[in-house]
């Protein structure tokens, strides 16, 4: 025997409708998040090594800093973390200068470098706070990663590492599960649309073993059991000045056509077709601008006053007549709307005396909201 809808308990009907409404809302919000436009770029560049013999790690980071700035990412969207200050080291033959090549043509430290975290500020805790946005109230905006769901973020790290860890200042370590947990939190908090992680260290790829968040690309200078080597030695400075991986990355970007596409082949957690992704998706910058007519056809206050003073008396009279007519039409429309809707609203209020009537009214309201929500979603697309 079939059970009619009218005989079902009103509470059960309301619960079913509420579940349908909530499930549709969640599905719509997730699809809207996936279709978010790329609106801005950020870069987090981290040198985790101290001491003079790690000169090349600071040069690596400053080289990437110069590259992303040249390609359009401004300083206010770059978080630069340097664990030591090689430019002012007493052993430096070239004070206040850092080079990544033995020809000493390009000074990496002389082009308005803005360091956000330096020295003992570069810790695992501060690094994770930058990624997740969990700062104390005293931290200024310039030291925060203020990204959103439309951001493409480049995360570059260099230093000494091993199997699933990266050393910070030779005193603590960032584990692979720490990085994966931070990236997961970033994704849940909608702090990025796409994330590219680059690591130049020994056994770099092992740092990505715990990553499972969608929209993440990762590239390392070495596989498990492999070392990351320096490129060349500067006899004047007395140490190696750049690593191989970073050196050839910089050489690639120096001859780069900004609109070339990537040619990577692994697509485990990156849904987009890589041949359609510009290489500068993370290294360049995009600015979302909205043009308005007022920006092109503006008139000064003086001209506006002159135009008003030159208006004829007849035009003023006709304008006042039209204003009176508009007011009369508005009053007529409001009165017609009240006469047509007023009796219906009064009938609804008079019938809503019992709890059953109120439940019925709520049920009908939910039924009416569903097609309206679906229709508005279709219009927004």
Q: Which residues belong to the active site?
A: 160, 202
On whether the CB atoms of residues 145 and 131 are closer than 8 A, the answer is: yes
**Phi-psi region for residue 64, left (φ > 0), alpha (ψ -120 to 50) or beta?**
alpha
H-only helix segments in the chain: 10-34, 55-70, 124-132, 176-188, 244-254, 301-309, 313-351, 355-380
Beta bridge mates, 79? 44
DSSP assignment of 146-208 equals ---TTEEEEEEEES-EETTEEEETTTEEEEHHHHHHHHHHHHHTT--SEEEEEEESTTGGGGG
* Chain centre to alpha carbon of residue 113: 23
On whether the CB atoms of residues 195 and 183 are closer than 8 A, the answer is: yes
First to last CA, the chain: 43
Of residues 114, 144, 111, the one with CA closest to residue 127: 144
Beta bridge mates, 217? 196
Q: How many residues does the chain have?
A: 381
Q: Burial code of 145-161, b = ≥16 C-beta within 10 A, e = fewer?
A: bebebbbbbbbbbbbbb
Of residues 98, 200, 220, the one with CA closest to residue 158: 200
**SS3 call for 311:** coil
């Amino acid at each position: 025997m079939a059970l009619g809808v009218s005989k079902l308990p009103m509470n059960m009907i309301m619960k079913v409708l509420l579940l349908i409404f909530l499930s549709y809302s969640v599905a719509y919000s997730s699809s809207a998040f996936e279709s978010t436009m790329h609106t801005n770029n950020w870069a987090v560049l981290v040198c985790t090594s101290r001491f003079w013999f790690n000169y090349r790690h600071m040069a690596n980071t400053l080289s990437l800093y110069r590259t992303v700035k040249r390609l359009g990412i401004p300083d206010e969207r770059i978080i630069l973390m340097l664990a030591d200050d090689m430019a002012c080291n007493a052993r430096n033959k070239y004070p206040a200068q850092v080079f990544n090549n033995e020809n000493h043509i390009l000074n990496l430290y002389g082009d308005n470098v803005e360091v956000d975290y330096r020295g003992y500020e570069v810790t695992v805790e501060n690094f994770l706070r930058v990624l997740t946005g969990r700062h104390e109230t005293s931290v200024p905006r310039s030291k925060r990663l203020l990204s959103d769901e439309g951001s493409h973020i480049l995360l570059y790290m260099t230093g000494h590492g091993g199997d699933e860890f990266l050393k910070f200042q030779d005193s603590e370590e960032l584990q692979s599960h720490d990085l994966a947990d931070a990236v997961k939190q970033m994704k849940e908090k909608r702090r990025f649309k796409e994330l590219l992680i680059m690591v130049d260290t020994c056994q770099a790829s092992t740092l990505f073993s715990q990553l499972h968040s969608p929209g993440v690309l990762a590239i390392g200078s070495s596989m498990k059991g492999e070392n990351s080597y320096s490129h060349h030695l500067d006899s004047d400075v007395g140490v190696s000045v750049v690593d191989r991986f970073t050196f050839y990355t910089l050489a690639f970007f120096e001859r780069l056509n900004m609109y070339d596409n990537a040619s990577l082949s692994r697509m485990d957690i990156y849904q987009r077709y890589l041949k359609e992704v510009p290489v500068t998706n993370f290294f360049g910058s995009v600015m979302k601008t909205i043009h308005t007519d007022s920006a092109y056809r503006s008139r000064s206050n003086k001209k506006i006053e002159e135009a008003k003073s030159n208006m004829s008396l007849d035009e003023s009279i006709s304008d006042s007549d039209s204003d009176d007519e508009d007011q009369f039409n508005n009053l007529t429309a409001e009165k017609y709307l009240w006469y047509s809707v007023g009796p219906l609203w009064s009938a609804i209020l008079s019938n809503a005396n019992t709890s059953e009537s109120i439940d019925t009214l709520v049920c009908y309201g939910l039924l009416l909201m569903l097609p309206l929500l679906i229709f508005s979603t279709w219009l927004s697309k």
